[in-house]
Amino acid sequence: MRRFLLLRGAEVLVLALLAAVPVAVTNPYALGLLTLLAIYGVLLIGLDVSVGYLGQINLGQVAFLGLGAYAAGIVVTRFGGGLLPALLAAALVGLVLGGLLALPALRLEGPQFALATLSFSALTVTALNELESLTGGAQGLSLARPRFLGMALEPRGFYWLCLAALALVWVTMRNLLASHWGRAFEALRDSPIATDAMGVGTYRHKVAGFALGSGLGGLAGGLYAFNFQYLQPQIFTYDLMVILLLGVVLGGRKSLWGAFVGACVVVLLPNLLSDRRLFLVLAFLGLLAALAAGIRGLARRRSGAFQALAPVAAMALLAVGGLLVKNTEDWRKGIFALMLFAVVVGLPEGLMGFASRFLEGVFRVPPASLPAPSALDDALPAQENGPGPVLAVKELRRHFGGVRAVDGITLQVESGSIHGLIGPNGSGKSTLVNVVSGLYPPTGGEIRLQGAPVTRLGMVAMARAGVARTFQNLQLFGELSALDNVLVALHGAFRMPLPLLVAGLGRKEERRAQADALALVGLEAEARVRARDLTYGAQRFLELARALARRPAVLILDEPAAGLAHPDVLRLMGVIRKVHERGIAILLIEHHMDVVSELCHYVTVMDGGRMLAEGRAQDVKRDPRVLEAYLGLPRESAP
Ligand SMILES: Nc1ncnc2c1ncn2[C@@H]1O[C@H](COP(=O)(O)OP(=O)(O)OP(=O)(O)O)[C@@H](O)[C@H]1O
């Protein structure tokens, strides 16, 4: 509660102060800067969705600013529309074109995606230039600011309108990003495979997130158009994009406050460059800060030599360069590039990331306590098991070129049973469960889940149909806390109408379900620790908790004991038994033969993609073919 009040209090205070400034300050230049701050605030909150939350290098936001600006301008000048319809059109143009760009572009990864968005920006400027009849081309487009609710908007009134837009966007995005939408955005950045395995469609969420951010870009463009009342295509080019990126990275990604601080940077930076003395003072202060941070990082062994020294070198170049050059404005692009480099290397969490850690230390606000976990019956309801196998695989094949990783496997996992899957390295076990869980489409064969054909369902659909899994190589959402990892798995379990979600209502049920899942594996104490900071053993248990939170019909465990210390292996066996007692069928890949013998009712042995043997664990263990495959023993020497 204290944390909530502190955070909300800071938001209200800053907004109230910003709203009060024009009452005391009448300087039109200062008012112009504040108006730009509100507009860039909206723009950068949008950019942060793709750059911060989705983890994509988006070089297209400047195009959405331009498209929104022109859309608003055209609605007013060509169609005689009012201010609100023009702003709505601006946001819609951003949203729709953002979605259309995202559909193909988000099939690409990393640099290719960045290039796609860069090309889109170049195409936009060309189109704005060439569609002269609509946009006025290189001559530009002049527009008058329409009346708002019958009132003429003077600079002060327009500033308040922009501030109100920022406040609305802030509150909406805060609640949306704290909901399952925001968590899905973060999860897919850390592990797209696990996001799909939790039944959360990665691609769908990526496209939606990108379109949303672009829509905010469009809205900011609309406000931009009414602020300057004159538009030219060359405003919306690469130069501005670099400053916008610098703003988001320097402010701090995945943070509304970071976007706000970034907007301050974007607004103030050009002014800073025109005042050489001020630039020099700040460049030397930056150099001192980089030096102090570098020495501290090295002394505490938190950063390597490159991370400590590269920002110092960049800031030194900036300070010395500032002394040597005549006009800092001419060196604008070089200065932005150096700053961006220094921040990306030296302050990856940005100013707000750094400040929030510092403030948390000062205020020491305890996190909200977790609700007490429910009784086992509610946390993991007993499964009603009908007759017949819960999972049936028939003649399943998966080939990779000439490699027959799975080559005609038939097996049945009976409901309520623990089915072991063993075999030497490379025998095709992981490939089999990857096909069964929908990660790879099969080359041939059939899969049935609870009697229904599910052979070619993808991973998301399989997860929703009741298959939950863990991975041989851990696939956690490293940046999220243990609790939030589990919460991603509950996506869709607590659906709420969008308006309620945006209003930030009702999360109690979700919190309880999270606590339940962690209690099942004994991780309550680590609930608030970031997944990547957990011990390896705890990470394995967290993956299990996350899978259990889905309350699956079939749980697939791919070598869950790998790398665990003996006490943890015993604990793991305890959890698996508990899950089994609730009637959940388990398909268990495991190399520890004692774990398999203790737990599994039935075992399938694979070798070279084919089934080598099957039966009860104690019989399979003595099978000469199995001994030969595992230990290289000749068949005659088998007991
Ligand atoms: N994505 C892939 N592309 C090409 N070949 C693959 C791919 N995945 C697996 N294979 C090949 O398929 C075969 C079976 O591999 P798989 O990982 O399924 O075996 P495994 O029994 O799980 O082994 P381990 O116990 O070592 O995990 C191996 O020859 C492997 O190289």
pLDDT at 349: 79
Q: Using pLDDT thresholds of 50, 70 and 90, give the confidence band for residue 639.
A: very low
Atom 18 of ligand 1, nearest CA residue? 428
pLDDT at 233: 94
Q: What is the pTM of this model?
A: 0.83
pLDDT digit string, tens, across residues 231-251: 999 999 888 888 898 888 888
Q: Which amino acid is at 579?
A: V
Atom 12 of ligand 1, nearest CA residue? 405
Q: Which atom of ligand 1 is nearest to the CA of 432?
A: 18
Q: Which residue matches tokens 């800060």?
A: 289
Residues of the chain with CATH 3.40.50.300: 377-637
User: Per-residue pLDDT for 392 more than 90?
Assistant: yes
> Could you report the predicted ipTM of this complex, rounded to two decimals?
0.96
pLDDT at 637: 45
Q: Using pLDDT thresholds of 50, 70 and 90, give the confidence band for residue 638.
A: very low
Please give the structure tokens belonging to residue 212. Answer: 């949303």
Q: Using pLDDT thresholds of 50, 70 and 90, give the confidence band for residue 494.
A: low
What does the alpha-carbon distance between residue 132 and residue 127 come to, in Å, rounded to a whole number? Answer: 9
User: Per-residue pLDDT for 197 more than 70?
Assistant: yes
What does the alpha-carbon distance between residue 435 and residue 447 come to, in Å, rounded to a whole number? Answer: 9
Q: Using pLDDT thresholds of 50, 70 and 90, give the confidence band for residue 366.
A: low
What does the alpha-carbon distance between residue 523 and residue 517 come to, in Å, rounded to a whole number? Answer: 9
pLDDT at 201: 86
Atom 3 of ligand 1, nearest CA residue? 400
Which sign, positive or negative, has the C-alpha torsion 7, 9, 12, 14?
Answer: negative
pLDDT at 495: 64
Q: Using pLDDT thresholds of 50, 70 and 90, give the confidence band for residue 535.
A: very high
Q: Which atom of ligand 1 is nearest to the CA of 591?
A: 25
Residue 543 has a CB neighbour count (10 Å cut-off) of 24
Residue 472 beta carbon below 6 angstroms from any ligand 1 atom: yes
Q: Which amino acid is at 385?
A: N
Ligand 1 mutation target, pool 431, 443, 590, 596, most atoms within 8 A of CB: 431
pLDDT digit string, tens, across residues 425-437: 889 999 999 999 9
Give me ligand 1 centre to Cα 606, in Å.
12
Q: Which residue has the higher pLDDT, 495 or 538?
A: 538
Please give the structure tokens belonging to residue 77. Answer: 């000048």
pLDDT digit string, tens, across residues 341-361: 888 888 777 787 777 777 766
Atom 14 of ligand 1, nearest CA residue? 428
pLDDT at 486: 87
pLDDT at 24: 84
pLDDT at 35: 95
User: Per-residue pLDDT for 622 more than 60?
Assistant: yes
CATH number of 377-637: 3.40.50.300
Give me ligand 1 centre to Cα 445, in Å.
18
pLDDT digit string, tens, across residues 98-130: 999 999 998 888 889 999 999 999 999 999 999
Q: Which amino acid is at 289?
A: A
Give me ligand 1 centre to Cα 386, in Å.
34
Residue 427 beta carbon below 6 angstroms from any ligand 1 atom: yes
pLDDT digit string, tens, across residues 626-635: 777 776 655 4
| Mean pLDDT over the full length of the chain | 87
pLDDT at 372: 73
Distances (CA, A) of 520 to 240, 271, 513, 529, 553: 51, 57, 11, 17, 17
Please give the structure tokens belonging to residue 613. Answer: 């043997």
pLDDT digit string, tens, across residues 578-590: 999 888 999 999 8
Answer whether 352's CB lies under 8 Å from 257's CB.
yes
Residue 382 has a CB neighbour count (10 Å cut-off) of 12
- Residues ≥6 apart with Cβ < 8 Å to 493: 510, 513
Least confident of 30-44, 77-91, 159-173, 614-628: 614-628
Residue 429 beta carbon below 6 angstroms from any ligand 1 atom: yes
User: Helix, strand or coil for residue 413?
Assistant: strand
User: Helix, strand or coil for residue 307?
Assistant: helix
Q: Which residue matches tokens 């400027």?
A: 125
Ligand 1 mutation target, pool 429, 588, 596, most atoms within 8 A of CB: 429
Please give the structure tokens belonging to residue 34. Answer: 């504040």
